[in-house]
Amino acid sequence: MKPIITVFERSPDRGRGLARDMRVRWALEEAEQDYEVRTVSFEAMKQPGYLALQPFGQIPVYQEGDLVLFESGAIVLHVAERFGGRLLPEAPSARARQISWLFAAIDTVEPPVFELDLVDILDGCKPWLEDRRQALEGLASVRLDALAAALGESDWLDGAFGAGDLMMVTVLRRLSGTALMGRYPSLIDYIARGEARPAFQRAFAAQRTLFEASQAE
């Protein structure tokens, strides 16, 4: 059964592959699993029909037969378990560690990165913007310091590339090109290794093509 993912009709990331369908696309590509894409408008995302699939009215949604999933982390984990491939090792301990990194990406690293990326948009007019940005940079750098230390000289977080790396790279990409990320050359190289993977390239091209088509309409 070919999975179907639902993504933005017109992604606000302007084809940069920063919306959360990118991690699902990448996981499916790593698993060499063909998939279909449905698009949803901002208006339709808040209608009852869509809310029955995704209670928070967000993308991505993943459908595989009767199975409907939301939350990109849960979807990536499902894809890794369902379709195997390179995303999760067979050995139970290595598999559990890879899943730890997947959760670390979403639950420990992503929150400060996400807040920092949004602070100028959400709080751009506030008199305390600069203080808030500095506080968030401090929080994010605590996480990035620890991550860079854990990665060390290795290519990937725990042996071979896996679902944890996939998720971590998608999180870190939000800071690509920032002064903060410039302080972490090993993490810049880590992101580049992820982006160089053929599966990433295919996923990126697919979302980019969709975004460009949406602009042509």
Q: Which amino acid is at 44?
A: A
**Beta pairing, strands 4-8 & 61-64:** antiparallel
User: Mask 35-64, x = binds ligand GTB (CB under 6 A)?
Assistant: ----------x-----------xxxx----
Which residues lie across from 7 on neighbouring strands? 39
- Report the site for ligand GTB in 138-167 (rule: CB under 6 A): none
Task: Determine, following the binding rule CB under 6 A, whether residue 115 of this chain makes contact with ligand GTB.
Answer: no
Task: Determine, following the binding rule CB under 6 A, whether residue 71 of this chain makes contact with ligand GTB.
Answer: yes
Stretch in the footprint of ligand GTB (CB under 6 A) among 14-22, 85-93, 124-132, 185-193: 14-22
Nearer to ligand GTB, 133 or 159 (CB): 133
Query: How far is it, in rounded angstroms, from Cα 52 to Cα 29?
Result: 27
**Beta pairing, strands 61-64 & 67-70:** antiparallel
> Measured at CB, which residue is nearest to ligand GTB?
58
According to CB under 6 A, which one of 19, 88, 157, 191 is a site residue for ligand GTB? 19
- # binding residues, ligand GTB (CB under 6 A): 13
Query: How far is it, in rounded angstroms, from Cα 174 to Cα 18?
Result: 7
Does the N-terminal peptide bond of residue 60 adopt cis geometry, omega within 30 degrees of 0?
yes
Q: Is 97 exposed, middle or buried (CB count within 10 Å of its CB: 0-12, 13-18, 19+)?
A: middle
Residue 8 phi/psi, 5-degree rounding, is -60, 135
Nearer to ligand GTB, 63 or 72 (CB): 72
For residue 155, the minimal CB distance to ligand GTB (Å) is 26
Residue 76 contacts residue 167 (beta carbons within 8 Å): yes
Nearer to ligand GTB, 160 or 213 (CB): 213
Task: Determine, following the binding rule CB under 6 A, whether residue 72 of this chain makes contact with ligand GTB.
Answer: yes
Which residues of this protein are in contact with ligand GTB, per CB under 6 A?
Answer: 12-13, 18-20, 45, 57-60, 71-73
